[in-house]
Structure 1
Amino acid sequence: MGRSFFKNHREAIRSTLRSLLTSAVLVTLYYLLPLDKAFTPTTVVALVGGIAAVALLLAWQIREITRAARPELRAMEALATSAPLYMLLFATVYYLMERSAPGSFSETLTRTDALYFTVTVLSTVGFGDITARSETARVLVTGQMTVNVLLIGVAARLLVSAVQQGRQQQGAPEPGARGDGLPFEK
């Protein structure tokens, strides 16, 4: 095996480790940051601002993906930052809401419960063990579902397009574009 294989392998490992570390740091911050403020209209404004910040971060990352030497690895890193940040924004709001207005959900939410609920809503699984009970909670959950559809549909398409554009700028063939039906080089 040539140097190129080992160099690519090392880059993939480094990118994977950076992605895991980024996600771990974000989740650790979620559990360690003091979340003792009350849920107020300012919280909703902060959530909207946070979603806008994630959108701007994603836009910047898409630009960087198109310029990266390994756009697929850069896209993985972009997801490892954007997705947890997005989920942790909603988990924080749900946690603060339950602390400020007990009964907003079918059970008292710990930070873990709030994160679990957020991921359940994001994945559209909806087990039903935790449900939004108050009108405010239902409005926020409905908002999350709406943004989820946009995030999954639009953001995923933009990331894939950025990877394709990055490969084209490098003159690299798309997987399966060699004409022999094989997705990888021999």
Structure 2
Amino acid sequence: MDGTPGDRRSAVLTVAQAVLSLAAVLAAYYLLPLDSSFSVATVGVLVAGVALVGLLIAWQVRTIMHSARPGLRAVAAVAATLPFFVLMFAATYYLLGRSEPASFTETLTRTDALYFTMTVFSTVGFGDISPRTELARLLTTGQMTANFLLIGVAARFLLGAVQEGRRLRELEARGGERGGPPAPP
């Protein structure tokens, strides 16, 4: 970004989009009725959601590479993907805690489930809430694995897309200067 009004406007719009995206996903998490019991279908929805995150990242890589502002587009991509990913796990832990109260060291409210998910995601692991049953431990291990993939692999793809997008913008700019069609007389 070179500090032009258009760049500042794009940055403000990107931040606004990120805030609205986070607010929408949080509102859905707290307002949607999560009153079903934990089941194989819950795990299926979680797996499908993680796969959807993977597809979303793949689509975002493509849009980042073709964006006029690939860095801003990558920020928007992370802001849209990360909250969805975290809240999928929080909803799963919440449903598991309601269905099998012994799954965790304490009963989980939605906020507790979100807190637990964030401590696992950030690898802080305070230990005040921890998984007790094998199923809860398997889900937590699955989240840890998905975290590594999201942080490592997805971040690498997004960064690569930003670099490629910038390279393509530079080639377009140089092509217009040197290798483009001759200017009309």
Please report the TM-score for the alignment, with normalisation by the length of structure 1: 0.89
What percentage of aligned pairs have identical amino acids? Answer: 55
SS of 1:125's equivalent in the other structure is coil
Aligned residues: CA RMSD:
1.2
In structure 2, the partner of 1:10 is 9
1:38 maps to a residue whose letter is S
In 2, distance between residues paired with 1:92 and 1:33? Answer: 10
State the Cα distance separating 1:6 from its structure 2 match. Answer: 1.3
- Does 1:49 pair with 2:56? no
Paired residue secondary structure (1:103)? helix
Q: Which amino acid aligns with 1:161?
A: G
Q: What aligned pairs does 1:52-71 form with structure 2 within 5 A after superposition?
A: 52-71=51-70
What does the per-residue CA deviation read over 1:24-82, in whole Å, with 9 as the maximum and x for residues that have no partner?
Answer: 11111100000001000111111100100111011101110001110111101100111
What letter corresponds to residue 143 of structure 1 in structure 2? G
After TM superposition, give the deviation of residue 128 of structure 1 in Å.
0.4
Aligned equivalents of 2:55, 2:5: Cα separation in 1: 34
Query: Deviation at 1:147?
Result: 0.9
Is 2:95 the partner of 1:96?
A: yes
Match in the other structure for 2:126:
127
Q: Report what 2:174 is aligned to.
A: none
The aligned residue for residue 175 of structure 2 is none
Name 1:31's counterpart in structure 2: 30
Normalising by structure 2, we get a TM-score of 0.90
Instruction: Give deviations 1:107-151, integer Å, cap 9, x for gaps.
Output: 100001001100100000000010000110001001111111111
Aligned partner of 2:179 in structure 1 is none
2: CA distance, partners of 1:158 / 1:7:
27
Task: Find the aligned partners of 2:11 and 2:29 in 1 and give their Cα distance.
Answer: 27
Letter paired with 1:15: T
- Cα distance in 2, alignment partners of residues 93 and 45 from structure 1: 11
Number of positions where the alignment pairs a residue of Structure 1 with one of Structure 2: 170
CA distance in 1, matches of 2:118, 2:84: 12
C-alpha distance in 1 between matches for 2:140 and 2:102? 15
**How far apart are residue 7 of structure 1 and its match?**
1.3
Partner SS for 1:154? helix
Alpha-carbon distance in structure 2 between the residues aligned to 1:27 and 1:61: 21
Which runs of 5 or more residues in structure 2 are unaligned?
172-185
